[in-house]
Amino acid sequence: MSNQKLMTAGALAALCTATVMALPHAHAAGQAGMVVVRDARTGQLRAPNAAEAAALQSPSGQARQAPAQRVESVGPAGSHKVQLGKSALVYSVVTRGADGKLAEQCVGSEQAAEAAMQQPTPAKEPHHETE
Amino acid sequence: MKPSNRARWARPLAALAFACCTFATGASHAAATITIVNTNEPGVGFNDTTPALPVGGNLGTTLGQQRLIAFQHAADLWGAKLTSAVPVRVDAAFEPLDCTATGAVLGAAGAYEIYYDFPNAPRSTTWYPSALASKLAGFDVTLGESPHIIARFNSRLGLFSDCLPGSGFYLGLDRQFGTQIDLVTVLLHELAHGLGFQTFTDDFFGEQVLGVPSIWDYYLVDNHNNRSWVTLTPAQRAATAVSGNGLSWNGPRVTAALPGVLAPLSQLRITGSVAGAAARNYQVGDAAFGPPLAAAAVTGQLMPVVDQGSDTGLACTPLSPVNAQAVRGNIALVDRGTCAFTVKARVVQAAGAIGMVVADNVEGDVAGISGTDPLVTIPSVRVTLADGQALRGALLSRTRTRSGVVASLGIDPTRLAGADTRNRLLLYTPTFYSPGSTVSHYTTEARPNQLMEPAINTDLTHEVQPPVDLTLPLLQDIGW
């Protein structure tokens, strides 16, 4: 495992010990938003530490936006329909590790796919870590 | 993705089929017909006229033809397993998607529309993907106006220096993909999502689409309290999604098929009078190399490899005489890192160890070990960082050849690899949030590897049903 990968895994592991909370007003478009984390040990809200902040600033660590508002329509047979379009696409992403080996993974949004593409091999996938 | 190349999914289907297809679309003649609708413009994607030699049973003579043949082959594999009187339409295209020299989006697929309260719906007020809703209704609920599934795949993969050069799609139909990426396997996985192998409920917030559950959600159960996902609050659903094996699938088809598909659960059993609190059964990750754990357990003293001047024991180079003496005839405890798992196994095996336990070097859930080396003949497993520390703690008062801590690498005959304590298949719910992977995939702990794990493993076959795979039973559980 490369040092960079170790650092990424470490930051994610640190983040995983806390729950990320984006304050409600933080979702307004164009606002940076205030992000706090809930410490897994104490249960208290606090500012993210350096590792958590770094992970949060990475594409995969960005606080999730609220689910898209769906528009429902009713068809002639009384059935209800929502057109998901591209929003329900599931993406397959491949990365080539430092050892030249390929690792494929499946993620659920275009943003997640872009993030996965930038980060080699997911930190916790079995059968894809060689060291 | 380049904006100029975005697929125009919203175009009327008829116009797309008429205007864009320069290569005839195929269709299966099986229990369900899945039709690939070529939405590429002339000269690109499925219509790329670059000459191609036959490969792995794919007899197309151009790159575009071979792509379409591979697509239709995957669709036909699914069509042969499913039943529906309503043809499933897949709007598909090969187009430029995101790429770098070391990573790429292979492709994407999913349901285009979802429906509830259509005629003959088995459950009221429950979302179904349109392909399944059409099958259950007995007519096309989209009235032919929309595709059931949309799919787009990367047309530049492996063909350009900025798009994973040298690692393109293998377009053969025979799995002889070598160092390339088997398109048919990826398609089988992605098409399964489009057919219904996914929840439409937001897996991060736990919010249902317009307050209506997906058919998927009825078969998810919180295995700590056996409550169905649909009865939980959004916050509770969100919590189960990062619970670490806290969600199981309780559909009858999958559950009935499990014993014939999954291997017994591997385990590390620690005993011995000096083991103290470390004496218990440990969850382990299996190795892809060496012999699998079996009913006849491999048992010996657990002895650590200790690097001089360090807290670790990496076993990346031939062991010192002291370490070699310690592991000879025993089970070696080594640390993850610096070199490949197969190297560690070869090193301790050469010193006479009869088994290897690798302690993780980062926090997290238990995970498996990859690698290939036919010369490794001893069993290997991996434990978490915390468990590794507990094991090392129990080994402090050892001699050079004995620890008094006995390790047994075997199986739990009452449990299945990838199932909960009631032998229901686990869903992928790691303790960290993995957008889109969480909840809508099988656990990565299943053994053998399953098509619908979030990582598409290279040992997958093109089989989607028992005794090899559990994807078809799940689709049948939701109504297929």
For residues B331 and A41, the model is more confident at B331
Please answer yes or no on whether A122 and B115 come within 8 Å at the CB atom. Answer: no
Alpha helices, DSSP H only, in B175-271?
183-195, 234-241, 252-261
Q: What is the mean pLDDT of residues A37-55?
A: 42
Which of B1, B114, B156, B314 is the best residue to mutate to test the A interface, defined by the most A CB atoms within 10 Å of its own CB?
A: B114
Under an 8 A CB cutoff, do B336 and A131 touch?
yes
pLDDT of residue A33: 30
Domain extents in chain B: 3-195, 221-261+418-477, 264-416
Confidence tier at B437 by pLDDT (50, 70, 90): confident
Per-residue model confidence (pLDDT) at position B379: 98
**Mean pLDDT, residues B263-280:** 95
Residues B200, A88: C-beta atoms closer than 8 Å? yes
What average pLDDT does chain B have?
Answer: 91
The shortest CB-CB distance from A83 to any of B113, B339, B455 is to: B113
Question: For A11-109, where are the E strands, in sequence order?
Answer: 18-22, 35-39, 45-46, 72-74, 80-83, 90-96, 102-107
Q: What is the pLDDT of residue B422?
A: 95
Chain B residue closest to A59 (CA)? B435
Chain B residues lying within 8 Å of A82, measured CB to CB: 113-114, 127, 209-210
How would residue A31 be classed by pLDDT, with cut points 50, 70 and 90?
A: very low
Yes or no: say if B85 and B94 are a contact pair by the CB < 8 Å rule.
no
- How many A×B Cβ pairs under 8 Å? 236
Mutant choice from B8, B86, B102, B200 vs A, greatest count of A C-beta within 10 A: B102
Whole-number pLDDT of residue A79:
94
The residue of B431, B434, B440 whose CB has the most chain A CBs within 10 angstroms, and thus the best one to mutate to test that interface, is B434
Residue B346: its pLDDT value, please? Answer: 97
Q: What is the pLDDT of residues B283-333, one digit of tens each?
A: 999 998 999 999 999 999 999 999 988 888 999 999 999 999 999 999 999
Q: Is the Cβ pair A96, B164 closer than 8 Å?
A: yes
Alpha-carbon distance of B424 to B246, in angstroms, equals 11
**SS3 (DSSP) at B8:** coil
Q: What is the pLDDT of residue B109?
A: 96
Domain positions in chain A: 1-58, 84-126
Across the range B161-189, mean pLDDT stands at 95
- What sign does the CA torsion over A96, A99, A101, A106 have? negative
Chain A hits for B200, CB-CB cut-off 8 Å, are 84, 88
**B108·A113 Cβ contact <8 A:** yes
Nearest CA in chain A to B186: A92
B72 φ, ψ (degrees, to nearest 5): -65, -30
Asked if B10 lies within 8 A of A85 by C-beta distance, the reply is yes
What is the C-alpha separation between B83 and B106, in angstroms, rounded?
28
Strand segments (E) across chain A: 18-22, 35-39, 45-46, 72-74, 80-83, 90-96, 102-107
User: Which chain A residue lies closest to B437 (C-alpha atoms)?
Assistant: A107
Cβ-defined contact of A126 to B368 (cutoff 8 Å)? yes
- What own/partner pairs with CB < 8 Å and gap ≥ 24 does B46-53 have? B46/B71, B46/B92, B46/B93, B46/B94, B47/B21, B47/B22, B47/B23, B48/B94, B48/B155, B52/B171
Decide if B345 contacts B378 (C-beta within 8 A).
Answer: yes
Task: Please name the member of A12, A79, A85 whose beta carbon is closest to the beta carbon of B9.
Answer: A85
Q: What is the pLDDT of residues B188-244, one digit of tens each?
A: 999 999 999 999 999 889 999 999 999 999 999 999 999 999 999 999 999 999 998
CB-CB neighbours of B1 under 10 Å: 18
Distance CA B420, CA B403 (A): 33
Q: For B459, which residue in chain A has the nearest alpha carbon?
A: A127
> Which of A51-55, B157-161, B297-301, B327-331 has the least mean pLDDT?
A51-55
Residue A37: which pLDDT band, with cuts at 50, 70 and 90? very low
Determine phi and psi for B410, rounding to 5 degrees.
-150, -155
The pLDDT tens digits for A101-128 are 788 888 888 888 988 887 654 433 333 3
CATH code for B264-416?
A: 3.50.30.30
Determine the average pLDDT of the residues in B21-35: 60
Cα separation, B238 vs A44, in Å, equals: 19
Query: What percent of chain B stands above pLDDT 90?
Result: 84
